[in-house]
Chains A and B, each alone.
Chain A
Amino acid sequence: MRAARLFRLALDDLKRNRKHFLLASIGIVVGIAAFTFFLGLGGGVRKVVLGKIFPLDKIEVVPKSFDVDVSMLRVPLANEIIDDEKVAQLRAIPNVVAVYPKMKLTIPSMVWGGAKLFGNNLRAELIADGVEPELVAPDIDSSYRFADFEPGLAKWDDWKTLPIATACETDKQCRSEHDDDQLYCWGSDELASWRDKVEKAEKKGKAPPERPDVEALCRYYIPILVSENIVELYNGSVRRAHGFPKINPDSAMGFTFDLTFGASMVDSSARDRTVEAKGILVGVSDKAINLGMTMPVGYVRRLNVEFNEAADANKYHSAVIQVGSKDDVAAVALAVKELELDVTDTGAEQAALLITIFMMVFGFVSIVIVGIAAVNIMHVFFMLIYERQREIGIMRAVGASRRDIRRIILGEAAIVGAIAGLVGVLMAFGAGDIFDWISAAYIPDFPFKPKT
């Protein structure tokens, strides 16, 4: 029997017995919808928990610490540093795909700004670290770049010697001159303020203030990443305490602020000097420091050297190791410990176990539903075959083989299954969207709220 004839015959039968098939398909629709929905929900939770909260293919290593408590103080006795040699050793471990050292900013720093967003300029202590740009490349907003724009400089202020550092009056001028939106005019704010003061003094007939010793030059913003935790902390707590607006992190990309290194609200550096720069928010990343800002490691290295000592260029505080496969994590962790380093306990394995149990329960529920649907479909088809005994008998009499009859029945089942399955999948997507909407609208904000 030709496939086209079979399909036509099966389709005719479906039309004729549509009530029966509709009943049968309800079971399939519900079963497939539940199965797909739970699969999607489980997958979403797994992706967030194992991909973002506890990324299992990446492990973070820190120097082994050995502290002694003396009264209120905890005195570190071990060297809390990972140097280039250790990084090289980590890279040599089998199944390690990449090692991304992280360096903490070890000088007092401040961040301030945000008048456009908050109404007033805010000032806060800056805690920062630096990472290799490759580690966070997938998390960078597509309109921006996360890179060290001032690489290889011996001194912090040497940026003024870069070809990009041309004289300017406004940010716009820098951007159009160099065709780059991540540029601003360093010093223009101070000069603009001086010009205002001169104007006011002239109006009042007073002597104008002296021109500040500033040369306005084009410069790159320092690209900054923040973690989802800090966004949630702000939206969940800080904004409520101060009556600030809630921030949509996607729209906050490109937000700029001032950075002061060498002094903070708590203390100033031993060098008794500060340097200024401006930062621009270019992404939200789970690899960014939990509370603070993350910038390309080159900036942090130069600042640490500038304010501390040259050896600081080689002192990392942790490293992220990317492992080829999740199965290799245990072996790599063992090798890390042999290098006198510790793996930070992220609870990933427990999370993975929990997620697996979660998936198994959902999977089991879905399979039970699909199983019940299958029994229902089987029952409906048995009923149909029983009712159509006479028809099947006629077909047999005119030359239909058992195989032909089987193909007709299975063809009908396949068409019902395909249509009902498709409807079920579409329903699952719809239910997923509704679930996402409900979770967005009614479930309180928490970091990494999963999507189905």
Chain B
Amino acid sequence: MNLRSLSVVTGRRPTVVAAVAVALAVAVAGLGPAACSGTSPGPGPATVAAQTSAGHDHQHPAGGPVGSGAPGGTIVVHAADELRATLTQLVPKFEEAFPGVRVAVEYGGAAEHAGHILAGAPVDVFVSADAVATGRVTAGHVRGAPAVVARNPIVIAVPPGTGIAGVADLPGTRVALCAETTPCGRMSRTALTAAAVDVRPVSVEPDPATTLARVRTGAADAALVYRTDVVASGTDLRALDFSQALLIADQYTALKVSTGRNTVGADALVAFLGSALARHIFADAGLSPT
């Protein structure tokens, strides 16, 4: 369709043009990701339209879950960027289990997402490791209890055959750290302080991948990074846990947001995120079980 053909018809057949316009609006709402523009304080129009158009038509799909009130329609999720890889695996399994359900995930920064929710944007589920943002949403915009679905601790990355068995072995070895301007660096320092271990880094790197590369090349004996960084590196480096890091690990918390309209869908999705299947897939990415 092009604009010229539309304008030709405008003069003669306004009803057809209106129908096309409605069709386009519905199509965009149903197909596009949930919109949440950075400046819009109000509810995202796309997510609202998705609820009313696709949702009601699919409450009782043929062959779907038995019983009234089964999950259906679109479930709007706002999730932390770091969860993209795991949620990309999990969402199709969830949609397969509940025919007629569509999960629309918007990935982004937790603070921005929380801002949208506080401004009333209709979001069904919010998943974040940002404690401040989670707290802002929890204070007045959730249904039920927050559920921790995954944890991402700082670990000691070591090569196979290393003599390093734990955090107490780090003094006297060559350790690579992330810069303290990064979350990886800040969490590593906090964990080492909690463990009362004095580490003199052999190198301080701008990101986890470079930090890990120091160990791979032999320039360092060990590196402190998130466990997901070790898995994502695809190397044969091992990840050693230590209790002080586990205690302060980033916690990914799922909230059922009260601004959302798909409450049954949110209930089902949060239950799914806490299932054995989700725990396994989170663990595959290095996100330790809760």
To the question of whether A and B form a pair in one complex, the answer is no
